Chain A
């Protein structure tokens, strides 16, 4: 059994990309992602990693370089965050529509203005509909694991979609914690390099991602969406987690339940605050409260069936978003609520927003949220939305 090593989570992410034996890294440094790309640049410079590191002039160029690199069949990695991801936005749609595999670690950060380098999920939600497979992780080990998992899924011939691994800025990126690093042989066994079936080659020139006039654009987008939400892609995602577990001993699922047995009140969280929320659930269970938590890992394609299955017996569902959608419902809440709308016995769904721009949500905050859930169970609620811990 491999030993736990003290590593900054950003260094662990870079280490995962190295162990995945990436061929090309094109990235532009931005807080809180900087340590990842600095570490990779250093690994390439000192010969530890045999890859091309392309020091581009912007995130827009980073993604453009990654698209070209992926199209040649090279294993391609990048990383960004917040404003950087926004500058990259225009080019994000091209990978999925051209079926180009690659992996990006996103160190979730709030968006300007006002300027904030700290974490929340605004950047993730802004790229929600770009067509990337997207997962959220909760700790450093999961961040490391999901880089390997992401390459396996992305390059699977049943999939061929790019994958984003979201891990919270600072609350994950800048923390030193114990990480179990696998043996290279195990990684190689989990992650062979499949040949990209449509790789560009001078002997067989083709055009990719050409323009589409109205007579064909709808058909292309429909084909893309059908592939993305297909059982084959879902199976590949699940199979990759299963194989990962069989080799490394850590098993993951699209939605993960904790102490949900008989739960009347359910919390729904995503990302690094989930484990803090689990402590609050433990405390409330000790008080005899029937409360549990489900944590969304797979964000796109959205795991409708798993969510429905896990919340069907709850009376109150409390969804935490780390992002606002001005003038509308918060994104995770909106998704969960819409997912349950057709159900005969649907629970009441309540929206909490918190942890904006790096503000902590502590155990006590989660306990208060749970208490409010039980109060709603008793007395109902006229409100459907609350921002946690905001000053008047």
Chain B
């Protein structure tokens, strides 16, 4: 849809993909934009592959169906590549942003991606800062580095609100991932 940016989040139950999509909507709406976020509806099971979605635009958003042709894909768990085609339906000029230990070139060689890629070791950032391997706030930083769908600063308040006493360290993870994300243009 014209003027609407569509995001698809890939994670596993418990990793916080749904929370990430929610926080993006909070930030976008607080900026005065229109946005929807929603999970791939269903009973949540820890560890199972889950999807979450965003649509962001300057006008009232009418489409509520799941995002099948995303502009942006964010992958919280690198091992999902082996079970899900995360780049499915990616629009031309779209970007896949991945939590990975590997470089963008290694991902291209191994999985055949030709789209623009964003790569960041969010798991290490999460271990270092949060002391748990939960990468959703780090991947928010990576998202904004890949495509500025919202301003980085706009995410700070929603992240702090959501995480309460661990809000500050989540903001730290977000900023750290923003700095460390490497973008590799598509071929």
Which residues in A have some Cβ–Cβ distance to B below 8 Å? 4-6, 31-32, 117-118, 170-172, 174-178, 272-273, 275-276, 278-279, 358, 360-363
Contact = CB atoms under 8 A, between A and B. Distances in A.
Given A174-B38, A175-B38, A363 B29 contact: no
Contacts of A174: 38-39, 41
Interface string B8-49: 000000000000001001101110101111110111000000
Given A279-B62, A362-B68, A177 B36 contact: yes
B65 interface: yes
B180 interface: no
Given A6-B29, A176-B22, A170 B66 contact: no
Given A177-B35, A178-B35, A363-B1, 8 more contacts: A5-B29, A31-B43, A171-B64, A175-B36, A176-B38, A279-B62, A279-B63, A361-B65
Contacts of A272: 64
Interface of B: 1, 22, 25-26, 28-30, 32, 34-39, 41-43, 61-66, 68
A278 B59 CA distance: 15
A330 B29 CA distance: 39
Contacts of B65: 276, 360-363
A275 B34 contact: no
Given A6-B26, A6-B30, A170-B38, A278 B43 contact: no
Contacts of B39: 174
21 contacts: A4-B29, A6-B25, A6-B29, A31-B43, A174-B38, A175-B36, A175-B64, A176-B26, A176-B35, A176-B38, A177-B25, A177-B35, A177-B61, A275-B62, A275-B64, A276-B63, A361-B65, A362-B65, A362-B68, A363-B1, A363-B63
A175 B68 contact: no
A278 B29 contact: no
Contact of B41 (A5, A170, A176, A279): A170
B63 A275 contact: yes
